[in-house]
Amino acid sequence: MSFAVLGAGVCGLSTALEVQNKYPNSKVSLIAEKFGRDTTSDVAAGIFRPGPSFSGPNETVTRKWMNDSYAYWDKLRLREDASLSGVTQLSAYVFSSTDPSIVRNHFLEGLLPLYRPCTEEELSICPGDWKYGSFFTTVLTECRLWQSWAQRKFEQNNGKVVQKQITKLTEFNGKKYDAVFNCTGLGAQKLCNDVKVVPIRGQIIKVRAPWVKTAFYADYDTYILPGFGGIVTLGGTRSYESYNMKIDKYDSLSIRERCEALVPSLAKATVVREAVGLRPYRSSVRVEHELLKDSFGQPLRVIHNYGHGGYGVTTSPGTAAYAVHLFGEMHRSKL
């Protein structure tokens, strides 16, 4: 069989690898305008911590996405080449001075190996009037490393990489491709005329702080996430429907001020880089199949997989598996 996967961010790469896994003798083309460091995924902090409001079509499917994704990342973490794929285990605290619900996460509490309330002593680890807190152990994926690893693996499996801008799904030939997987993220806004897809702008700062070994979250979208090589991600911002891709100096000042208030030793950390990304948000992540007609009037199977917002790294292995499963259902039913 022959497949096309559109988009080379974490969702597109996850889907392309899953197609190769399920259909090892197939021909798979990964088609995108941007790759690697030009993708939104390159900016992602990559911690497995979905937002409580993250939603698929229903609770059962959403839970399955979470479980399958965590199993994928945790399995990669245990491989000998885990450092090459950019996956590691990480412990984290989340603090709040305003509401106990902020430190709870119903997706994680029954899934991670450890997720518990903080002790009174732990609430004083960081400066601040923290009233509520949780401690948990999860996984973190350095997306810059993982994307390079994933694309190499895809090409080693005889996958074909094509750099091309796609403007219409119907430009694909239904006779040539058994299915087209649409993993275009924010690009689906125009490609599918989907007004439900909107950007949520995020800005982060990467600093060199090898002494920080634990992740911290706090009120006002403040987070500190240690990764590989002593590099720590500081964040963040969450600007709804903002298309601004420029570094905002006021956001930078705010991020540094909030993070240094939480972990004062970060004041001596040197900046490695700053970055902005537009998270492709949709109120309900779209993973569903659609039967279209190509420009010749022939049937064209399309499986959509987009709208993950800021949780593409967290959930993409699960949604990829679900998308490939949906193709199998279409194929068996002869649609």
Predicted confidence at residue 82, as pLDDT, reads: 83
pLDDT value at residue 333 = 82
Q: What is the value of pTM for the model shown?
A: 0.96
CATH number at residue 268: 3.40.50.720
Rounded to the nearest 5 percent, the helix, strand and coil shares of the chain are 35, 30, 30
pLDDT at 262: 98
The CA distance from 48 to 21, in Å, is: 23
Strand-pair partners of 292: 300
Per-residue pLDDT of the chain (335 residues; tens, 9 = 90+): 999 999 999 999 999 999 999 999 999 999 999 999 999 999 998 999 999 999 999 999 999 999 999 999 999 999 988 889 999 999 999 999 999 999 999 999 989 999 999 999 999 999 999 999 999 999 999 999 999 999 999 999 999 999 999 999 999 999 999 999 999 999 999 999 999 999 999 999 999 999 999 999 999 999 999 999 999 999 999 999 999 999 999 999 999 999 999 999 999 999 999 999 999 999 999 999 999 999 999 999 999 999 999 999 999 999 999 999 999 998 888 77
Work out the number of other CB atoms within 10 angstroms of the CB of residue 138.
Answer: 22
Query: Residue 224 is part of which domain span?
Result: 2-332
Total number of domains in the chain: 1
Which residues, 6+ apart, have CB-to-CB distance to 101 below 8 Å? none
DSSP tag of 7:
-
